[in-house]
Chain A
């Protein structure tokens, strides 16, 4: 049996969906858009403009439909839904990206402990009423105790003890505590943003300028409502400390008095035009302990290697 006749008949019944283009068109199925970058034919345009424009649009739309109808579909009650890919043409947003909210204290704790967020129902089942009631709010379950008509009195209760009022106060205290925690979270969120950081910086600068006059601010004109400057309280070392710490501190003072290490190297770095920054190199080689320590290590020879682990401690000692 020859089927070519049947195929011919069926193809002639329908018009073709094939479109020929010199340069393939750019199809952005996510935005339902087709861009045809073939040049416009001048002769056809001049001959019959509207017909040409419509023909051009039809060809482009045909290609677009081809790509849309080949997308995966999902059936729904109103007909097939084509699942569109993300758009390839980038369009500017109308508003900036939303800023992530700073986590609350609880959220940070929960994240550290790996506690999953659980959605708690707003309604709870009331066994007595046999219905769902609000957990809180109007006719809420949390007011059951204070609203019941009979109360159990503890044995040691004082004469003026009012159990209903006590339960109410307890509930109000919980609300107040939650409010306090909320305000704390808000304050923390505010203090971490850029603006308030800048404010702290400015206040510090202002405080520095206020004590930077010849009288250290003592005889300056005060503005009305100007806050009093609060200095930093001095902190003293403990009277008794370990012999090791004391030795370290004394050595640090001695190395400062000696004056051979830091100053000389500083001059060397600024005076010479060498590519090598000697001061930095010494700091690096001695792991931040200075040239003196490096010299000591060199004298001790192999011992220097073994004491490498103590580099951090030595640095801290040197700054005291």
Chain B
């Protein structure tokens, strides 16, 4: 457990504040960890995956004795220490050759993990083709019906999406669309289409191979608004077999899936709760209507006239009487 530190100066305070939970999160950082033994293939795979993930990647160059499925405390610690929430752990053993574990965390606790074995690998250098710029967003392509039906592949898709493309952005440069990461499964075996829902403990050997391919995309004029896409192999090319996995704890996943409430701006636009008598006009000013109660017209001040004076009737009578007496005198 890390000590909770109180910042001593403004710079460290800013750094700590940057790590606090945010409503809209930054891109997830990935840590690449080597196990006790990694073969040449796993080393290269990790290097190339890191090249794709750059600049949001941290490499742990030393070997670590780590078994994520048995004890995940190290991952929790590294996650907190480095403010990272994705892990790629490479290890090669006799039982599981060329093993790769994708793990992600929520609140610095391991949420879910998926273990794959690399069966074949072709690096970037073997394709003498243009490469993508680090830091550009890839286009993602998933192909197979299992990405919609099979829980293992749903998890894999979610993990890979999170890994390469998880950041929420509201706009993108169309000229910056440079490369494609395509994840395709080999043809679905018949046994999986019929009994996948029934068998819980499935045989790993019947699960189809996962082909991860990366291409650069060229946008050609097509005579229409949408350009025509042409793909060129870029590398790395990976073939993976699924091995062990750890599904997300439902309670933890529920917490992780919570979305922020609608923003004030959206509420004013009328997306959220209805606000009575308040509206935003075209100029962006908030206008409200206020109820002022019923007006008492009895107290209304109108034009002052002699005839409308209070007690006017009696005065008039008296004056009339005076006038009559005066007249008689004159006669």
Contacts and interface: CB of A to CB of B under 8 A. Distances in A.
B226 A70 contact: yes
A65 to B, nearest CB: 5
Contact of B144 (A40, A49, A95): A40
- Chain A's interface size range is 35 or more
B73 interface: no
Given A35-B157, A57-B184, A58-B229, A17 B222 contact: yes
B169 interface: yes
Interface string A7-28: 0001101111100000000100
A54 B235 CA distance: 12
A32 B228 contact: no
Contacts, number: 203
Interface string A24-45: 0010001111111111111001
Given A57-B182, A92-B104, A14 B228 contact: yes
Interface string B254-290: 0111111000000000000000000000000000000
A91 B220 CA distance: 33
- Chain B's interface size range is 35 or more
Contacts of A86: 168
Contact of B162 (A60, A68, A73, A91): A91
B143 A95 contact: no
Nearest to B112: A92
B231 A57 contact: yes
Contacts of B224: 17
B135 interface: no
B36 to A, nearest CB: 28
A90 B140 CA distance: 15
Contacts of A53: 182, 184, 211, 213
A93 B228 contact: no
B229 A65 contact: yes
Contacts of A50: 233
What DSSP secondary structure best describes chain A's contact surface? mixed
Given A58-B231, A66-B226, A68-B174, A35 B147 contact: yes
A259 interface: no
Contact of A84 (B23, B171, B182, B257): B171
Given A62-B229, A80-B174, A32 B148 contact: no
A83 B170 contact: yes
A57 B106 contact: no
8 contacts: A26-B148, A35-B147, A38-B143, A54-B231, A61-B217, A69-B226, A78-B173, A95-B106
Interface of A: 10-11, 13-17, 26, 30-42, 45, 49-50, 53-54, 56-58, 60-62, 64-66, 68-70, 73-74, 76, 78-84, 86-87, 89-98
Given A79-B174, A94-B28, 13 more contacts: A32-B139, A32-B172, A33-B141, A37-B145, A39-B188, A41-B187, A57-B213, A58-B231, A61-B139, A84-B172, A93-B25, A94-B107, A97-B23
